[in-house]
Amino acid sequence: MLSVPFVVNLSSMFYLSSLTRLQNSQTRSISAENPTGAKSAGAQASPGDPGTTPAASDLGKGWKVRPCLKDLQPGQTVTLADIEGPGVIQHMWFTVLTDVHRCLALRIYYDDQPHPSVECPLGDFFANGLDGLALVNSMPVAVNPKGGMNCYWPMPFRKRFRLTITHDGPKPLNELFYQITWSQEPAGGVPDDAAYFHASWRRSMTTRDHPEHTILDNVTGRGHYVGTSLVWAQLSTWWWGEGEVKFFIDGDPQGSPTICGTGTEDYFGGAWGFVMDHATDLTPTTYSTPFLGYTQAVCGTTPQEKARIGPRPPQHNLYRWHIPDPVRFSKDLRVTVQALGWWVQSGKYQPLTDDIASVAFWYQTLPSAPLVPLPPMDGRWPR
């Protein structure tokens, strides 16, 4: 039996004393060097086998012969993990060198439910939706130089866990590196109250008539909300972060949320526009902490970018993990953020036309409702 309950809080995820306790679990890990994760099945490729690297030709079997998935073609879907339960995904690591973080669609299916419980561009899943270059130093997600993306959200499953990657980009991807580590549990090893991890990506362009972005809706069942990552592209001028984040819980009517914050930067743990000294320098200060982060503030276009892709709007990359403060719901949940700025001339709030992409992270019971599907490529970036 698992000794650590799957309540997503500090005691369940990071209580180090649990490491002293012996358990009847078995550790397994899938990578290109062991595609099934089976016992004694790693490092079995030989130089010259399909999908192997010529760099190992002088060393032979057992010496980094197949370190990655090669030649992923446009439109191709690959199943990286198909695991029989019960078990718990403990760690996932991915990296790609090229600028394809929103071209790769990550989907996760549990217990033979026909639709995915996670559907998200690869980079956004790791709070890295802007360009894949953010450094994230948080508890459930760590992104290290250069582009080493790590996930520690626990993902229990009872019957089956399946993870796929679909390449929606226009060019072949030569290398995809990955590793998925899980705990194989004995029968009954996943507690009855263990919920399933979910994540859903949304993007919208707000309007002055309706300056609001929906982070999550149409969630039914019982569970708890555990995090938000956000990429905000400014299409309006000046300050952008006055909007409130709202949680509509268990039947809250439109306009009457149970939880209502006081501003966008406030929700992500900052204040006063992330600016340290308004009198001398209005440049925002970035940060990355265990539960809150503002990892990128791209406020201009380099000459190289301007020559290659044209002007770039100011963009902001942020995350908040509700690990010590999960938002619990019994029947349904909806989460929104307003797009409001500050109009200097009038001293009043200003509705904004901005481009916002978000990922909502939560745990809940199955069956769960189908997620909003990812749009095609031309719907994944500001235009």
**pTM of full prediction above 0.85:** yes
Q: What is the mean pLDDT of residues 118-124?
A: 98
Q: What is the mean pLDDT of residues 94-119?
A: 96
pLDDT at residue 300, as a whole number: 67
Most trustworthy range by pLDDT among 15-19, 64-68, 89-93 = 89-93
pLDDT at residue 121, as a whole number: 98
Candidate from 49-53, 138-142, 212-216 with smallest mean pLDDT: 49-53
pLDDT at residue 201, as a whole number: 98
What residue segments make up the domains of the chain, in order of their start? 10-32+68-379
pLDDT at residue 183, as a whole number: 96
pLDDT at residue 308, as a whole number: 53
Q: Provide the mean pLDDT of the chain.
A: 92
The per-residue DSSP string of 200-214 comes to EEEEEE--SSS-EEE
Q: How confident is the model at residue 139 (pLDDT cuts 50, 70, 90)?
A: very high
Q: What is the pLDDT of residues 332-373, one digit of tens each?
A: 999 999 999 998 888 899 999 999 999 999 999 999 999 999
Name which of 220, 244, 222, 241 is nearest 232 in CA terms.
241
Please determine, for residue 6, whether its predicted confidence score (pLDDT) is greater than 90.
no
Name which of 168, 68, 174 is nearest 121 in CA terms.
168
| Cβ neighbour number for residue 223 with a 10 Å cutoff | 24
pLDDT at residue 156, as a whole number: 98
**Beta strands at 118-121 and 196-205: parallel, antiparallel or unpaired:** parallel
Take residue 371 and report the two structure tokens written for it: 């997620």
- Return contacts of 373-380, CB within 8 angstroms, 24+ apart: 373/119, 374/105, 374/119, 374/120, 374/121, 374/168, 374/201, 375/203, 376/168, 377/103, 377/168, 377/169, 377/170, 379/203, 380/102, 380/121, 380/203
Please determine, for residue 277, whether its predicted confidence score (pLDDT) is greater than 80.
yes
Q: What is the mean pLDDT of residues 239-244?
A: 96
Candidate from 42-51, 222-231, 316-325 with smallest mean pLDDT: 42-51
pLDDT at residue 20, as a whole number: 84
Q: How confident is the model at residue 229 (pLDDT cuts 50, 70, 90)?
A: very high
Q: What is the mean pLDDT of residues 141-158?
A: 97
Cα–Cα distances in angstroms (integers) from residue 112 to residues 84, 115, 162, 163, 367, in the given order = 11, 9, 9, 12, 10
Domain 10-32+68-379 fold is Jelly Rolls (2.60.120)
Please determine, for residue 326, whether its predicted confidence score (pLDDT) is greater than 90.
yes
Q: Estimate the share of the chain in helix, then strand, then coil, as percent rounded to the nearest 5.
A: 10, 40, 50
The CA distance from 296 to 134, in Å, is 6
The CA distance from 151 to 141, in Å, is 5
Take residue 196 and report the two structure tokens written for it: 């399933």
Q: What is the mean pLDDT of residues 166-182?
A: 97
Q: How confident is the model at residue 306 (pLDDT cuts 50, 70, 90)?
A: low
End-to-end CA separation in angstroms for the chain: 51
pLDDT at residue 16, as a whole number: 72
Candidate from 98-112, 125-139, 274-288, 300-314 with smallest mean pLDDT: 300-314
The CA distance from 4 to 19, in Å, is 10
**DSSP letter (8 states) at residue 253:** P
Q: To the nearest whole percent, how much of the chain has pLDDT over 70?
A: 92
